Amino acid sequence: MVTRTGTRSALTAFVLYAFAGLFTPAGAVNVPGRVPRIRIKDRPSAFKVLETLYEVTSGYQWARKDRWLKGDPCKERWFGVHCDLRGNVIAIILPNNSLKGPIPRRLAKLKRLYILDLSSNKLDGSIPWELGDLTRLEQLSLYVNNLKGTLPPELGSLTRLQSLSFYSNKITGTLPPELSKLKSLTNVYLNKNKLYGTLPKELGKLSIQSLSVGGNKLKGTIPTEYGNLRNLQYLDLASNNLKGSIPVELTKLHKLERLYLYRNSLTGTIPKEMTDLKRLAILDVSHNHLKGTLPTNLDKLRSLKFLYLTGNTLEKTNSWDLKRKFRKLQYLDLADTGGLMGNPLFDMHSGKAKPRIKRDL
């Protein structure tokens, strides 16, 4: 399971900002021995915005609401609210805190917000397009809620955004090509939603490390442009309605460690160039319509530990032949693979069948 950006990492980012001096506006002069004053004019605006968040999301039922609505949110250190030394709210971190209701549009008034984490709550309604006005935002985490509607194209204005996590919601519509404008983006988690349409080829322009859109209703082919994602380490396109062949361009992703393509309608063969993925630890192409033989030099995948092939029509290969080729291979899934011989899930060390390992989806 890939580690999602959570509360601990968010707080770490906040501390780094504090010590990096990013909270001092351009042109400001630091005077030794003096602490910058909190600007009174900013207090009413931030207070009203946070008060709206509290009221709209049933704050009285939150798991924790320490000091909320008491005095200045920065000075009184409201739970989950983090400020810089000048009294600007820069982070709202309230995951798993029993928030329910819609995301208030007024949050867009907190122009200096770096982190917004409202994940693992009971939020509903749509994602406000006004969040696109938070141009300093670097982390946006709204995963595991009941959000509906579409992805606002205005999110393409968040040019500093590094992490976008909306997985496990009920978001519909297509993937907006405007996401390709997010040049700072490193992690995209949109899996387990109701997205449809095709995969935007424009995403191939990014420098992301993780792309997860599995468990949706996406169709069409895998864009060859995704072979340009040279920093990609994790690619999850599983459980969609994708068709066509596995693009040979994906074998150029030399940093790739996990590749999930299972439960689609992919056809053709497994590219022989797949052996160029020296860091690949997990390859799951199960439950597709692949045929032909396994590449004869798959043993060059020296980092491979988990290989899932079940539910395809591959030509005869004996599991013990694979055991001799893969020294690090721990599990091999061969059930319902036509000519392949072996146990449904084969422990390469003990020679015994093992229960299926839970995947990310």
Domains of the chain, by residue range, sit at: 40-139+151-163, 172-361
User: Are the beta carbons of 90 and 82 closer than 8 angstroms?
Assistant: yes
Q: Cα–Cα distances in Å, from 266 out to 196, 239, 334? A: 17, 11, 17
Positive or negative, the Cα torsion across 182, 183, 185, 190?
Answer: positive
Which helix (H) or strand (E) segment holds residue 253: the answer is: none
According to the model, what pLDDT value does residue 4 have?
A: 42
CA-to-CA distance for 185 and 164, rounded, in angstroms?
8
Read off the DSSP letter of residue 28. Answer: -
Q: Take residue 279 and report the two structure tokens written for it.
A: 């860091």
Half-sphere exposure in the Cβ direction for 231 (13 Å, CA): 13
According to the model, what pLDDT value does residue 323 have?
A: 61
Read off the DSSP letter of residue 162. Answer: -
* pTM recorded for the entire structure: 0.83
According to the model, what pLDDT value does residue 196 have?
A: 98
Q: Cα–Cα distances in Å, from 221 out to 189, 240, 247, 265? A: 20, 11, 9, 10
Read off the DSSP letter of residue 338. Answer: B
User: Are the beta carbons of 314 and 292 closer than 8 angstroms?
Assistant: yes
According to the model, what pLDDT value does residue 327 have?
A: 65
CA-to-CA distance for 90 and 117, rounded, in angstroms?
12
Which helix (H) or strand (E) segment holds residue 359: the answer is: none
Q: What phi, psi does 323 have (nearest 5°)?
A: -60, -40
Q: Take residue 78 and report the two structure tokens written for it.
A: 């409201």
According to the model, what pLDDT value does residue 44 have?
A: 54
CATH number 3.80.10.10 given to 172-361: yes
Decide: helix, strand or coil at residue 21: coil
The string of pLDDT tens digits covering residues 121-165 is 999 999 999 999 999 999 999 999 999 999 999 999 999 999 999
According to the model, what pLDDT value does residue 25 have?
A: 34
According to the model, what pLDDT value does residue 197 have?
A: 97
Fold exhibited by the domain 40-139+151-163: 3.80.10
The string of pLDDT tens digits covering residues 107-119 is 999 999 999 999 9
According to the model, what pLDDT value does residue 331 have?
A: 84
Same fold, 40-139+151-163 and 172-361: yes
According to the model, what pLDDT value does residue 338 have?
A: 57
According to the model, what pLDDT value does residue 156 have?
A: 95
- The type of residue at 86 is R
Positive or negative, the Cα torsion across 160, 201, 359, 343?
Answer: negative
According to the model, what pLDDT value does residue 330 have?
A: 83
Q: Take residue 350 and report the two structure tokens written for it.
A: 């003990």
Mean pLDDT, contiguous 10-residue spans, the chain (361 residues): 46 45 34 38 75 97 96 95 95 98 96 97 97 97 98 96 98 95 96 97 95 98 97 98 97 97 97 93 96 81 90 71 68 67 45 47 44
